[in-house]
Structures are given as C-alpha cells and as structure tokens.
Amino acid sequence: MDELVETVITWGGDEVIFAFIYLITPHLFLFTVKDVAADKISGSDGQDEFDFIIVGAGSSGCVLADKLSEGGNFTVLVLEAGGYPSPVQSLPTLAYSMFNQPGTDWKYDTEPQVGAAKGSISNKMAWPSGKGFGGSSMINGMIYVRGNVQGFDDLAEKTGDKRWSLDNLLKYYKELENYEGWYNTGGDADQHGHEGLLSIQKSSLAPFVENLMRAGEELGYRERDPNPGGPNTEGFERFAKMDLYLTENGRRSDAYHNFLKPVMPRANLAVRRFSHVTEILFRPNTTVGVRYLNNGKTFDVKARKEVILSTGAIGTPQILMLSGIGPKHHLDELGIPTRLDLPVGEYLQDKYGAMIGPFQVARHKSLIVGRDLTAAGLLEWLKRGTGPLKTALSQATHAHISKSARLDNRISAPDVHTYILTIPLNKELEKRVQETFNWKEETLQFFAEGAKSDSFIQMVCLERPLGRGVVRLRNRSPLSNPSINPKYFQDERDCRAIVEGLQFAVDVVENTTAFADIDGHLAPIQFPACVDVPFKSTAYYECLARHVTVTAYKYSGTAPIGRDDGTDVDAVVDTRLRVLGATRLRVVDGSVLQHKYMSVTIWSQLPRVLEKPSRKNQIKCRPLNKHCQTNCPEIQFVSVHGVGSLLHNVLLRWAPNLRKIVLVMDDKINSLRSRVDRAAEIEGHGRTPIKPMLETIHYIRADVERFLTPRCTAKMQDFVQEITTAAVNLKDFIIRDAFCPMLSGKVVLKKLKCNWYQPGEKLPISGLGYLTKLLEAAADSLEELELSGTFEVETSLDALKVGFALPRMRKLKSFKNWRVDVFE
C-alpha cells in the first residue's frame, strides 16, 4: 500500500490519490481471490459430514464458528458464498465505497416504491448486504450504536422467555466490547466492557461536531453515550459523538479478523469460500444437511447435530423458502412443495428515513477532498493509524421523541434517530456516490452542488417504523436475488414522523447560537422535484422525504422469534432460535429480531389498564380506545388468551377493519379465561353478543395448548361454534391441537388446517369423531383441507389413517386441495 501511495503522488497529488483509491476499490477484491483448488471448497479432505454446518460467515457466522469449534468437541463447517476481504476494506474512509460492488456486496435492490424513493433510479433503493468473510461487518459504516436495546424487554415479555431481557443480554454486549470510545468515563463507563474482541475507538471528527453538541444543549438535550443499558425513557434523548468499530491502529474492526481468522487453523474447523448454499436437506422434517454450489459443481454435506443459518435478513428467508419453509400461498405460486407453512419474509422491517442537506458551515469546519483527505493524511494513517482518514465520514448522532410518537403514547424510547455525515464530493467521486445510493442524476447533482464548500448531511431515520415490508422469492433459482419490498412510507404515520425529524434537523442548525457562530445553515438550494412548494415548509419536507429516501441498513424481522409453544402467528423460530416444526435447524442472525409496536401496546397496556374496576382505570382506557379507533384501521391480527368480554368490547369494537384473529385457549384455566379476560370480567361486563362485531373477520386460528379436560371440552366446542357462526365472512379456520373440536350445524368454511403436535400419548378416537363432524358440517363450502401430525406412538398413526377412511368422509366432493401428512 505504501508503494501504491508513493506512485500515485507522482501522478498528481492529493486529490488524485483519494479519487484513485475510490475508483480501484471495486477491483481490489480480485487480488484476494487465491487458487480455489487450494481451498477446502471441493471437500478434498474427504470429510462430507460435520456436527454443525454454519451457513454464512458474516457477523453472526464468524462468532458462531469461533464458539462452536472452541475446545475441539465438535466438528464445524462454515460455508460462505464470497471470499476473503480486500486490503483496502480496512481503510475507514472507504466504508461506503464497498456498496453495490461485486465481490463485497450481494447487490440487493428493492421493488419500485410507491410514494418513496422518487429520487432514486426507477424508484428502487439499493440495499447493500456484505458478501464474503466478515459479511456486512466488512462494508458497513462501522458506527457503534447498540440501538434500542430496551426492545429486548418487550421481546422477553412477548415470548415469556426472560433470557431475552436486557438485564440478561447486557453482559454479552460487554463481553464483546473492547471499548475505548468517547464515553469511557463518567456515569456510563460501567455500561461497557474492555476485554472483548470487538475494538471500539474514537474516530477523527470534523470541527463542527463540537458546535453540534452545544446546539443540542441549547435545545435541552445533553450530550451522552448513545449506548446505555438502563431503561430507555425520555431522559435518553441525546446528542452524541460517533464511536466506530476501529482497531487501535485505526483499521476497521470486523467479525472476520476478530473472530474467524484467528481460529481457522483449528483442526475441527473447515471453512469453504465461494460456496453458495442453495437448499436445506430434510428427512422428512429433520434437517440432515445442505446442498451448495461451488465452481459450477453441486455438493451435499451432512450435519450430525444442526444446520445454522446466518445469512442475514434477506439471505435467510431466501434459503428457507427455497427449501419449502415459508408462506404456502407464495410457495404454491412458484411450484415449491411446502414443507412448513410459516410466515417467512412476511414482517420485513428496516430502519429508514430521509436525507436532508447539505448544511453549510464556515471554512475549515468540515471536510473537503483534496484539502483534508490527502496523500499525507493517508501516509499518516498507514504509519500510525491516526489523522483525518481515521473516520468513516460518520461524525455524530442525535435522537429524540417526535410529537407524533408522544400523541400515540410511544415514549419508551426515541423514535427519530439522526446520523450526521460528511460526504465530500468531487467529479471523480460522484459516480461512486451515485452507485452507493442509486440516485438519479438530478439527485446527485443537488447534493454535489451544495457540497462544494464545507458542509455536512443529516440522515433522519425512524428507530421503529410502523410500516412492514415483505421478502419474496423472485423465482425458483437460488442465484436470483429475492424480491424485496420494504413498503416505505405506506404507513402515513411514518412519513409524518420523518417530516417532523427533518424540521428538527434544520432547527438544530438554523435556530441555535452554536451553529450561528460558524454560519451554519441549510444550503439555499431547493430540491428540483420540490420547487412547486414553499422552501422549508412542511410540504417541502414531505416532498424531500419521498424523493431522498434512504435506508440505515438495519434489515430484520423476516424470521421473527415467537413463543416456544408455537402460538405466535407471526413467528418462524422459537426463543432458542429453532425453526418451528423442524428439528436440527436454527437461525442466528438479524432476521429473528422484530419489534411490532402495536402488539406490544395491546399486551403491555391493556392488562394494566383493566387491573382494577375503578373509574380512574376506566378513564385511562379511553385514550387507547381512541387511538385504536382512529389510527389502527388496518390492524392485521390480535393474539388473545382465552375468550371473554375484553376481546369483544375492546379489540373488535376499536378495530373495525380487523381481518385476522388468533385465539389461544388454555386448558389450565377451567373457565377458559386468561388473566386479561378475567380483569374485564371483574368489572362486571359479562358476555357480550359477538355476532355484530365479527362481520369483517375472515381468518381465525384457534390454538389449544394441550388435550383439554372433559370439563373444558364442551365449553370450547360451544365457543368455536359461536364464533364460526357469527363470522359470516370467515374464509380460513386453523385449529392447532392434539385433536380438533366438534362443530355442529352449518359452517361456511373455505379452508381448514388441523395440526397435531407430538401429544406423547395415543390420539383419542373421539378426536377423530369431532374432526369428522366438523368436515361434514362444512361439506358444501370447504375447498381446501390440510391435515398434519407428528406422533411418537404407532397406534396413533394407525388411528389417524383409519379415521380418514370413514364412509362419511366421501361426502366431501368439493375439495380442490386435500393433504394429509403424518410423520413419525
């Protein structure tokens, strides 16, 4: 690298060297591609079976490889679709130049967005995702922000597993950290660890950052560590300087160099690069291995214990769906046999927002190519790891709670999080920036024009957007990137919060004396597509948000965690990250994390509101009801334990467009009422006629945790009959239990799915009788029937087979689809 620098200096000096390195970066990965035949890719060591197979050597996969191979007790295979990282990836300033480049990035992009990304080519967003050893830790901005860690407490409450609580997980953050950042002293110092493998350092900051910290103080926000471990309340709104994943000598600190590379010599660890996993192998629902492509050849490898997917929020759902695990309706469209009907890819989330700027400041207060990022600075970084190039161009951050969130009572954590970036531009670098963001030419030129002088950008993002997207397979080819539709701003509340955040970003600069001291202001250049609305008006900020939409690269939620008993309709994995319904298959990456604020609101607030039958508590309930009535018109599902008046009086009344409902009936409570319904019962509401409130529901899933006692069976049957008769538009009815309940009378039902989950004892013949009567009642309308069961007792298998041979079953002639799966 030193010789390269000296050579370029002779060609033309400071500005040329920086531009030159940017231009050659996409091709430097070729230097790291060694002789493929020399690697273990072909399995030339003769070993085609391992205890664990880890798919993906990214941020999670590298750590797993280290931990699982430690001690030599297990044999571990890591399969990575990419190769070794290039040397220039260690230079912090080049962080964003790795995006959308072959060899370092999967080059994902989104579907054209409706009402967003209008300033991007074809209204599509570039969605970078790291490819190669280290994964996204090798191409990201190296920003060290833990995020809304308080969401772990919500997750622990949702799943009933306290291991996911923040109190338990904080120790793992500390264990990973070797923290030497800006907030290593004072009250927050004990929130960090200092002996971990991930090095976190102070970066070189532009001079205007000190003015930014002062501006925050003027507006009532104190400078503080953005990574607290305690309750994230309003007091945690903050301004902060940026910590980065950096080594002591100013290089990138990443998963590959810190976790995987040091342990690759272990005899029980095999690492195969350029190995693209295309399918998980099963027998029948037991995971036995994977199939992968390398150098145009297909290989199968077996796993004695587990296959672990660590391919990220896009790669993981793709592999699962290609293997028959995903939404049945989608897999049917592609002709992929459904092994497990799970909502894979259904709840995509992203931290996203909009970019505003440039904000111009006085001379020498920011960064400019040629003046600040010079050959001399590069030599200083190479020799000592210091100087202006010890930065990823990320300067600082601030977070606050928007007015929109306060009105919705979402004040447990800041919902608007802003990154302060310096993106120095010149002609040589414009093409690279355009590739990074997939901007149209006019969008690029807008920011380039304002960045000719000292300036910076503010990227305003939503910590927990309310909208949800979806990931789908584009086709059956594992080599095709999946279809990604984040559905940006399709929830209007997200757009309102971003508009408010953009206004706040401008106020920070234009309405504080701290920035007035350095002549800080938003560049007086109106975005070309927004010239028809007044500059800096609410309409202007909304126009800007819908054009300069950006992602913060925090994709998640495509294989979310749920309760271990399988009662969460949105779950793909249990609290131990095991895929529901499969054995020896686990997902360990960002796809499992999800924050669905609406369900958390219902579960965490309603029980407390209705604890006591006092007038005070009734008044507390009104804002929530009003909120649901006005702001929840498209609520998709509600999980309710038991059956009772709370379900009828609150959830259905205030969600008039409810489409899905999940009922969890617990045999442990004789009355079939949980603590939530019992609270409502104490208030003396009693049962309420259900029929008028169910007219719009077309999906019901009833989960019964175990065999019901005889005393409860009749009550459950009565309830299921009542709700099915009342729901006149019911299309889908799913019952999950060791046997299905009896229904008498006429049932208008299009689809029935009935599952049995290892009851551990014989299937009662009465259960088959109930099911038969249900099918007979729905004979004229039922079109699809799916029955599946897993049994340990051989006589149960026989009983199931005999049960479906009953003569009465022949009356069901309207079926379009009939499926019976029985697994031992």
* pLDDT one-digit tens code per residue, 332-364: 999 999 999 999 999 999 999 999 999 999 999
Structure tokens at 182: 């800006």
Q: Are the C-beta atoms of residues 465 and 351 closer than 8 Å to each other?
A: yes
**Beta-bridge partner residues of 641:** 664
pLDDT for res 158: 82
pLDDT for res 450: 76
Within 8 A by CB and 6+ apart from 173, the residues are: 146, 149, 193, 227, 229
Q: Sorting pLDDT into bands at 50, 70 and 90, what band is 588?
A: very high
CA distance linking residue 497 with residue 503, whole number of Å:
10
Comparing C-alpha atoms, which of 689, 618, 617 is closest to residue 647?
Answer: 689
CA distance linking residue 530 with residue 499, whole number of Å:
14
pTM score, whole prediction: 0.72
CA distance linking residue 570 with residue 580, whole number of Å:
11
Comparing C-alpha atoms, which of 279, 315, 313, 320 is closest to residue 299?
Answer: 279
Helix (H), strand (E) at residue 664? strand 660-665
Q: Are the C-beta atoms of residues 556 and 593 closer than 8 Å to each other?
A: yes
Cα dihedral: 766, 770, 776, 778 (round 10): -170
Q: Are the C-beta atoms of residues 622 and 609 closer than 8 Å to each other?
A: no
Other beta carbons less than 10 A from residue 354's beta carbon: 29
Within 8 A by CB and 6+ apart from 35, the residues are: none
According to the per-residue pLDDT averaged within each range, which of 70-74, 89-93, 703-707 is highest? 70-74
Q: Sorting pLDDT into bands at 50, 70 and 90, what band is 391?
A: confident
Structure tokens at 8: 């370029």
Which of the pair, 790 or 301, is modelled with greater confidence?
A: 301
pLDDT for res 663: 56
Within 8 A by CB and 6+ apart from 583, the residues are: 285, 286, 287
CA distance linking residue 257 with residue 251, whole number of Å:
11
Q: Is 684 exposed, middle or buried (0-12, 13-18, 19+ CB in 10 A)?
A: exposed
Q: Is 668 exposed, middle or buried (0-12, 13-18, 19+ CB in 10 A)?
A: exposed
The H-assigned helical ranges of 13-58 are 14-28
Does the pLDDT of residue 815 top 60, yes or no? no
Q: Sorting pLDDT into bands at 50, 70 and 90, what band is 623?
A: very low
Which of the pair, 316 or 391, is modelled with greater confidence?
A: 316
DSSP state of 449: H
CA distance linking residue 361 with residue 208, whole number of Å:
8
pLDDT for res 18: 56
Q: Sorting pLDDT into bands at 50, 70 and 90, what band is 99?
A: confident
DSSP state of 29: G
Percent of the chain with pLDDT over 70: 64
Q: Are the C-beta atoms of residues 544 and 141 closer than 8 Å to each other?
A: no
Within 8 A by CB and 6+ apart from 654, the residues are: 625, 628, 629, 632
Q: Are the C-beta atoms of residues 323 and 420 closer than 8 Å to each other?
A: no
Q: Sorting pLDDT into bands at 50, 70 and 90, what band is 625?
A: very low
CA distance linking residue 473 with residue 565, whole number of Å:
28
Cα dihedral: 384, 387, 391, 396 (round 10): 130
HSE at residue 792, side-chain half, CA atoms within 13 A, is 5
Does the pLDDT of residue 256 top 80, yes or no? yes
Each residue of 39-53: pLDDT tens digit? 444 444 446 899 999
Long-range contacts of 146-151 (CB under 8 A, 24+ apart): 146/173, 146/226, 146/227, 147/463, 147/554, 148/232, 148/413, 148/463, 148/464, 148/595, 149/173, 149/227, 149/229, 149/232, 150/231, 150/232, 150/412, 150/413, 151/413, 151/464, 151/593, 151/595
Does the pLDDT of residue 655 top 50, yes or no? no
Structure tokens at 626: 């009003």
Q: Are the C-beta atoms of residues 112 and 124 closer than 8 Å to each other?
A: yes
Three-state DSSP at 745 gives coil
Comparing C-alpha atoms, which of 144, 243, 254, 143 is closest to residue 203?
Answer: 243
CA distance linking residue 131 with residue 80, whole number of Å:
8
Q: Sorting pLDDT into bands at 50, 70 and 90, what band is 668?
A: very low
HSE at residue 756, side-chain half, CA atoms within 13 A, is 31
Can you give the C-alpha Rg of the chain in angstroms? 29
Does the pLDDT of residue 729 top 50, yes or no? yes
Helix (H), strand (E) at residue 471? strand 470-472
Cα dihedral: 266, 269, 274, 278 (round 10): -170
pLDDT for res 85: 87
Q: Are the C-beta atoms of residues 201 and 249 closer than 8 Å to each other?
A: no
The residue assigned the tokens 């606050």 is 400
3-state helix, strand, coil in the chain (%, to 5): 35, 20, 40
The dihedral built from the CA positions of residue 207, 211, 214 and 220, taken in this order, carries a sign that is negative
Q: Sorting pLDDT into bands at 50, 70 and 90, what band is 378?
A: confident
Each residue of 124-178: pLDDT tens digit? 999 999 999 999 999 999 999 887 776 788 888 888 898 998 888 888 888 999 9
Distances (CA, A) of 742 to 549, 641, 747, 778, 797: 52, 20, 11, 12, 21
CA distance linking residue 151 with residue 592, whole number of Å:
13
Which of the pair, 792 or 659, is modelled with greater confidence?
A: 659
Each residue of 449-495: pLDDT tens digit? 877 789 999 999 998 888 889 999 999 999 999 999 999 998 888 99
HSE at residue 61, side-chain half, CA atoms within 13 A, is 37
Q: Sorting pLDDT into bands at 50, 70 and 90, what band is 620?
A: very low
Comparing C-alpha atoms, which of 763, 725, 756, 730 is closest to residue 743?
Answer: 725
CA distance linking residue 54 with residue 585, whole number of Å:
10
CA distance linking residue 460 with residue 508, whole number of Å:
13
Distances (CA, A) of 485 to 115, 310, 348, 470, 587: 13, 21, 8, 5, 22
**Beta-bridge partner residues of 308:** 54, 586
